[in-house]
């Protein structure tokens, strides 16, 4: 437990409580550890911002469910909604159990953390250096938990129409421990080997986007192709474009907190991150839609949504490092390149259920849901 009061601490770092000077009438949240040895000043505005962004990232998970449920056939829609929220539940427990400790403990090796914070031990009053010691560990932990929950929810779309619910439970727990915790530690923890090499990953290009994309591809290959692969049986249009649109809007909305909150402060960098994130999505959505019109001579809502998401993915690792003009270029390039590379899945015969917008667009006029 901690003792709390408002005031101004005359120091920038956590200091000895016996020698610290605290002035009244300030707006910082002054916290003293239970043993009374350390005192630190938290910024209520930064805490409120990170907690708000936590809620925004949470919204992305059911948003994924709606996106995936709209892309598949009606009989599989409920399955996708369940699987995405199931990932949230499983990873939330894994994160509390040992995931946070393995990822963000400050006494681990160069590759993985230890169990210093097992069961969220000592995850309350400790300040986070990455947030300039203005945010307590419990706020940082719940924010990062939403990141960890989102990643397997992205990948689990590959299991649609041929993956059962029961195996997803142990798979998600094990994947979070063996894959996500390790990659996130290496990239974001100051003790990680990638962090020490100077790798810049603002909000999760490696631990989130690359990890989920590769996992989804491997998972779909492992499960095998669906019955009827290569025949007209699987050339169906999305059962609900409205769900696809709703899911995209929820993802876009949540992504502003996903990138904006990764500054861990309500400051100018957070504002820039939100601006670059939104512009990249806008440019990417329009680019993909225009490229689809060039091939199919019709405007595609699914194409616009797919392009917007590709822009959001591309800007994520750079959102806090680049300016506004660069974000426009990133969104355009991401959509153009991704649109052209969608043909690779057909050439390699990968059966990834929810990532074939071109097939869905061409089939919509011929095949019913």
Q: Does CATH place domain 45-363 in 1.10.3430.10?
A: yes
pLDDT at 187 over 80: yes
Q: What is the pLDDT of residues 235-279, one digit of tens each?
A: 677 888 999 999 999 999 999 999 999 999 999 999 999 999 999
Mean confidence (pLDDT) of the chain: 85
Banded model confidence at residue 29, pLDDT cuts 50, 70, 90: confident
Name the residue with higher pLDDT: 129 or 86.
Answer: 86
Domain boundaries, the chain: 2-42, 45-363
pLDDT at 363 over 60: no
pTM of the model: 0.87
Banded model confidence at residue 359, pLDDT cuts 50, 70, 90: very low
When mean pLDDT is compared across 33-42, 82-91, 97-106, the lowest value belongs to 33-42
pLDDT for position 357: 46
Q: What is the pLDDT of residues 146-164, one digit of tens each?
A: 999 999 999 988 878 787 8
Banded model confidence at residue 58, pLDDT cuts 50, 70, 90: very high
Query: To the nearest 10°, the Cα dihedral for 359, 360, 365, 366?
Result: 60
pLDDT for position 7: 56
Residues in the chain: 369
The residue among 248, 285, 297 whose CA lies nearest residue 71 is 248
């Amino acid at each position: 437990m901690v003792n709390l009061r408002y005031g101004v601490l005359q120091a920038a770092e956590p200091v000895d409580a016996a020698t610290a000077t605290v002035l009244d009438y300030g707006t910082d949240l002054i916290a003293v550890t239970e043993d009374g040895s350390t005192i630190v000043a938290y910024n209520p505005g930064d805490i409120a911002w990170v907690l708000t962004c936590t809620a925004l990232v949470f919204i992305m998970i059911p948003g994924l469910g709606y996106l995936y449920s709209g892309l598949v056939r009606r009989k599989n829609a409920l399955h996708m909604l369940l699987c995405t929220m199931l990932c949230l539940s499983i990873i939330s427990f894994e994160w509390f159990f040992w995931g946070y400790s393995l990822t963000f403990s400050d006494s681990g090796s160069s590759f993985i953390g230890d169990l210093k914070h097992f069961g969220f031990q000592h995850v309350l009053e400790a300040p986070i250096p990455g947030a300039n010691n203005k945010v307590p560990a419990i706020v940082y932990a719940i924010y990062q938990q939403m990141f960890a929950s989102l990643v397997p929810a992205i990948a689990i779309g590959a299991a649609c129409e041929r993956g059962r619910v029961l195996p997803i439970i142990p798979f998600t727990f094990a994947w979070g421990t063996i894959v996500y915790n390790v990659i996130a530690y290496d990239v974001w923890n100051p003790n990680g080997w990638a962090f020490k090499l100077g790798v810049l990953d603002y909000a999760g290009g490696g631990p989130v986007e690359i990890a989920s994309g590769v996992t989804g591809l491997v998972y779909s290959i492992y499960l095998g192709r669906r019955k009827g692969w290569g025949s007209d049986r699987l050339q169906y249009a999305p059962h609900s474009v409205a769900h696809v649109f709703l899911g995209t809007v929820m993802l876009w909305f949540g992504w502003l907190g996903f990138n904006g909150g990764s500054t861990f402060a309500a400051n100018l960098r957070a504002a820039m991150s939100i601006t670059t994130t939104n512009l990249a999505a806008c440019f990417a959505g329009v680019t993909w839609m225009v490229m689809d019109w060039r091939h199919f001579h019709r405007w595609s809502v699914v194409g616009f949504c797919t392009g917007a998401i590709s822009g959001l993915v591309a800007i994520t690792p750079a959102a806090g490092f680049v300016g506004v003009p660069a974000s426009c270029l990133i969104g355009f390039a991401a959509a153009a390149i991704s649109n052209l590379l969608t043909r690779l899945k057909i050439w390699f015969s990968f059966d990834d259920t929810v990532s074939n917008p071109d097939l869905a667009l061409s089939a919509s006029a011929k095949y019913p849901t």
